[in-house]
Every structure is written in C-alpha cells, then in structure tokens.
Amino acid sequence: MKKQGHILIVDDNKSVLSSLHLFLKHKFEEVITCNNSNQISNLVATHSFDVVLLDMNLTVGSNNGNEGLYWLKELLKLDSNLVVILFTAYGDIDLAVRAMKYGATDFILKPWDNKKLLATLRNGVELHRTRQKVEQLEDQKKFLEQDLNQNFERMIGESDAMKSVFEMIRKVAVTDANVLILGENGTGKELVARELHMMSCRHKEIFMGVDLGALSESIFESELFGHVKGAFTDAKEDRKGRFQSASGGSLFLDEIGNLSLGMQAKLLAALQNRKVTPLGSNKEDHVDIRLICATNQNIIEMVKDGRFREDLLYRINTIKIEIPPLRNRGDDILKIANHFLQRYADKYGKIFGALSKEVNEKLLAYSWPGNIRELRHCMERVAIMNEKHELVPADFILESQNSPVELGNKPISLDDAEKVLIENALKRLKGNVSKVAQELKIGRQTLYRKIEKYKIS
C-alpha cells in the first residue's frame, strides 16, 4: 500500500512516542512526535498534517483530560478541517462524549491495539482529505457559477492561419506543458485557453481564469495564494487563493505582461515549487495545476527592456501559441460576423437576410483593430438598430471608430461624456483594457460593463 498521510503525535511520555514512531513511520508519508505542548501551535502552523493523535493528559499526574480538551479546541481553531483523535489511558465515556462535542473525530484508549490504531489513523487521513476536497469544491462553486453566467464560444475559423492554431492546440492539449498564448486584444486568447483545457485530461476539473491586469500589488498575494484570518484588516476568515482553488485543473493567467517585477518574483517562486504560502501563514499548500498564460504585449521586448523576468518567461513559455489578428484571417471575418449577427438577431427577435456582396466587401476591407470583440459589438449594434430584413453597408458603422471623438463645446449628457472618455482611452491605449481601467481608475469588470452599455467596439 502506498504511504499516505501526515501525522502528528502529541504525548508527554517519550517511550510512547518512540514506540508509535517506530510502528507508524513506514505506514505514513510523515510522522512527527511532540512531548511539549508549547510546540503544538508552531508545528501545526508550519506543517500540513492530516491527523493529530493527541494525549488527553500532557502533564505528569494529570488525569482529568482538561489539557486534551483545551488543545483539541485550539487545534481546530488553527485548522477546522484537521482530524484530531484523542489518546488516553482513562476510559471515561463522559469525557469521550465531551471530546466529540468539541470536534474530536475518535477516541483511542491506552494500551492500544496496533491494528485498530492503524485503521483509525488511516480513516482519519481519508476523512481529512475528503474535508479538504469538499472545501475546495465549495470554493470552486462560485467561480463555476460566474462562468455559467457568461457565454463562451467555441472557436470559429477555417483560414490557414487558424488551422495552424487548431493543430497546435490539438498537439499541446493532451500534455501538461505550460502554454503562453500571444495575440492582440480581442483575438480570443481566453477561448484558446479554454480549448486547451477542454481537450486535456483535466477537462473534468475546473478551469479558472485570473485577470492579472486587474490585480493591484496590495491584493496580488491574497487573490492568488489566499490568506488566513487576521492577515490584514479585512481578513475576517481564512480564504483560499486561485492557485489552491484551481488545483487539479487548469489555471489561466491572463494579461501576465502587466505584472510588476515584484509580483513576477512571487509568481515565479510559486510556479517553480508548485507550492504557495497563504498571506499571514507559514504553512505551504501544494498545488497541482496546468498553467496557461496570455498577454497582448511583446514579451520578448519586455525582457530585453528589463520589464519582464527572463526566468519567468522560460517557466511559462514551454509552448507558445500565437493567435493571428482578425484582419489576417480572410473569410473567417464573414463566418464570425454571420455567427454573431444570428445570435443577436435571435436575442432581439429580429430576422435578417443573407449579407449582401457589398456588406461583405465592407467587412473584409475594414482592419478591425479591436478584433473579434469589436466585430461582436458591431453585429450586436446592427441587430439592435435595424428592423428591416435586408441590411446595407451604411448599417455597419465602422470608419467613425478609427478616430477619437471630441467633446467640443456643445451640450452633452454625462453618459455621452463617459462614452467619449472610454472610446478615446481605448483608441489611445490601442485597446488595452487593463491600462484603460487603470487610467480611468475603475475596475476592469466595470469597464467591460460600460463598454457593453455604450456599445463601444
């Protein structure tokens, strides 16, 4: 049987500890013994124990079990999922009932039976692993619910440029290799990441995306690595980070080029060790993730300029997938346009005929600086604004989006002014949503909502 489980044994009798360690060290991954109750808190804070076998009486001459009950409660404060099995030479049923009430999992009497003790400890390890899995699933649930509220597309495309991308995805998905996805804003980097996940052996586990561009220095560690209660002012309870919550599945780090050098160093340490330490804790959490990263920036130039760590680039860049801009995808533009137009026609209860040759020529001639995101917004705007069956080129307003809008001296509503500010910022910053959000001092998700609200493409 494969050795599993990390056990802490606390007893004031050194000969008992020696006997137990000798018996159990070949049965579990780790067995640590302790005869000084003052060391318990530090040991639990710095190790990932599954089970604590705790003597009820830790002082010579004591036999009322109060010490054991005290440390039982303290241990569960440190880790509510911890399995604590109490150990005593005094078979007191009332004491056992009290211990169970306070959260003990089981009760072992001295002298112990080796076979029963081993079975109890192994059951405790399984129980602890189950509790951890349930907690992880609960934590994942909110992220999955967020995903369900969004419409994620399967990728569309038959151009040679996209066939190369699809072939690369097919080859890479079945491995656990780290992948770096490169491409302009709006090209569908997250869709590629999701395709990699859905075609991988981890497809039944969670896909978790993190917009690194929206994380400030102050919340970076807490969001990615978690925190313990009291780690900072608003830390009112323990919270797992994205790394722990994604364990077993795929972790997608979007906008990785936006990280400061300090945040890059912390991320590199986590990726190298596949361990993270929650903020305010000394205990490392092991994580098992498939890493997928993305950026719209020229990351090679960033390395040359000293803005991105070369060692981090090597860590994330086992395989590189470059997504072509929409303007280089030929007739894919028309396939995607028709897909979105049909979707929004259904959504708004409209019926449109096939796009004319003139409309197709206009769509193909446009450079689509905002890529698929811009095309999607364009098709939604057309569906909203038109009641007629046949659409004409004038219905597709494209050119006016190539130049910034000026406020001028004419009267303008607050909404119109906000729209102009966002459009100008997007144009000036070449569609970098994270930089626009930072400049306007609003959250990235808030910015996306405003882009949707004002139909900005």
Report the CATH number that the domain containing residue 437 is assigned in CATH: 1.10.10.60
**Do residue 235 and residue 366 come from a single domain?**
no
Quick one: CA dihedral 394, 397, 402, 404, positive or negative? positive
**Higher per-residue pLDDT: 433 or 371:** 371
Residue 88 included in any domain: yes
**What's the confidence (pLDDT) of residue 402?**
45
Please tell me whether residues 286 and 238 are part of one structural domain.
yes
Instruction: Give the count of domains, the chain.
Output: 4
Q: Are 154 and 169 in contact (CB under 8 A)?
A: no
Whether residue 408 is predicted with pLDDT greater than 90 in this model: the reply is no
Write b or e for each residue in 323-339: b if 16 or more Cβ atoms lie within 10 A of its Cβ, otherwise e.
Answer: bbbbeebbebbeebbbe
Q: Is residue 137 part of a domain?
A: no
CATH number at residue 105: 3.40.50.2300
- Evaluate whether 227 touches 239 at the Cβ level (below 8 Å): yes
pLDDT tens sequence across 85-109: 988 776 667 777 788 888 999 888 8
Evaluate if residue 225 carries a pLDDT over 70. yes
Separation CA 218–CA 128 (nearest Å): 32
- Residue 217, pLDDT > 50, answer yes
109 and 22 in one domain? yes
- Let me know whether 372 and 252 are in one domain: no
Choose among 326, 325, 302, 327: nearest CA to 312: 302
What pLDDT does 163 receive?
94
In this prediction, residue 325 carries a pLDDT of 94
pLDDT value for 40: 92
Counts of helices then strands in the chain (DSSP H, E):
18, 12
45 domain residue, yes or no = yes
pLDDT over 70, % of the chain: 91
Boundary (domain end) residue, out of 102, 131, 160 = 131
Cα torsion angle, 39, 41, 46, 51, sign = positive
Considering 131, 160, 189, which residue would you say is the last residue of a domain? Answer: 131
Q: Could you read off the pLDDT of 276-285 as tens digits, one per residue?
A: 998 888 888 8
Q: Average pLDDT over the chain, rounded to whole?
A: 87
CA distance 417 to 423: 10
Specify whether 75 is located in the same domain as 122: yes
Q: What is the mean pLDDT of residues 367-380?
A: 93
pLDDT number for residue 412: 62
pLDDT, position 316: 96
Q: What was the pLDDT predicted at 405?
A: 47
pLDDT at 176 > cutoff 70 = yes
pLDDT confidence of residue 48: 85
CB 110 within 8 A of CB 89: yes
Q: How many CB atoms lie within 10 A of CB 446?
A: 12
Same domain for 435 and 391? no
Whole-angstrom distance, CA of residue 25 vs CA of residue 72? 24
Lowest-pLDDT choice from 31-35, 131-135, 224-228: 131-135
Q: What is the pLDDT of residues 276-309, one digit of tens each?
A: 998 888 888 889 999 999 999 999 999 999 999 9
Query: Is the pLDDT confidence value at 115 over 90?
Result: yes
164 confidence band (pLDDT: 50, 70, 90): very high
Query: Residue 143: inside a domain, yes or no?
Result: no
Q: Does residue 325 or residue 435 have the better pLDDT?
A: 325
Of the candidates 162, 191, 209, 218, the one whose C-alpha atom is nearest the C-alpha of residue 331 is 162
Note whether residue 136 is domain-resident. Answer: no
Residue 426 has pLDDT above 90, yes or no: no
One domain for residues 124 and 230: no
pLDDT at 142 over 70: no
Q: Are residues 319 and 344 in the same domain?
A: no
Identify whether residues 229 and 285 lie together within a single domain: yes
- Backbone Cα Rg of the chain: 29
SS3 165: helix
130 pLDDT higher than 50: yes
- Asked whether residue 438 falls in the same domain as residue 338, the answer is no
CA–CA dist 240, 224 (Å, integer): 8
Residue 333 domain-assigned (yes or no): yes
H-assigned helices in 38-84: 40-46, 66-78
Distance CA 208, CA 146 (A): 10
Return the CATH number at 294. 3.40.50.300
Could you tell me the residue range of the domain that residue 61 belongs to? 6-131
pLDDT band at 132 (very low <50, low <70, confident <90, very high): confident
Q: From 347, 374, 395, give the residue that closes a domain.
A: 395
| Tens of pLDDT, residues 385-395 | 999 999 999 99
The residue among 382, 380, 389, 374 whose CA lies nearest residue 347 is 380
Residues 12-23 pLDDT 10s:
899 999 999 999
Domain contains 145 = no
CATH code of 346's domain = 1.10.8.60
What global pTM score does this model have? 0.66
Per-residue pLDDT at 457: 66
* Pair (167, 301) in one structural domain: yes
Q: What is the 3-state secondary structure (H, E, C) of 326-391?
A: HHHCCCHHHHHHHHHHHHHHHHHCCCCCCCCHHHHHHHHHCCCCCHHHHHHHHHHHHHHHCCCCCC
- The answer to whether residue 236 scores a pLDDT higher than 80 is no
Mean local confidence (pLDDT), 193-215: 91
Structure tokens that stand for 102 in this block: 């306070």
Tokens 């859905």 sit on residue: 198
Which residue in the block uniquely carries the two structure tokens 């994380």? 215
Which of 20-34, 161-175, 219-233, 319-333 is the least confident region? Answer: 219-233
- Nearest Cα to Cα of residue 51 among 19, 23, 29: 29
Task: Name the nearest CA neighbour of 81 among 44, 122, 107.
Answer: 44
Query: CA-to-CA distance for 361 and 330, rounded, in angstroms?
Result: 11
Co-location of 202 and 316 in the same domain: yes
What span, in angstroms and rounded, lies between the C-alpha atoms of 84 and 86? 6
Flag whether 339 is in a domain.
yes
Q: How much of the chain is in helix, strand and coil states, percent to nearest 5?
A: 50, 10, 35
pLDDT greater than 90 at residue 228: no
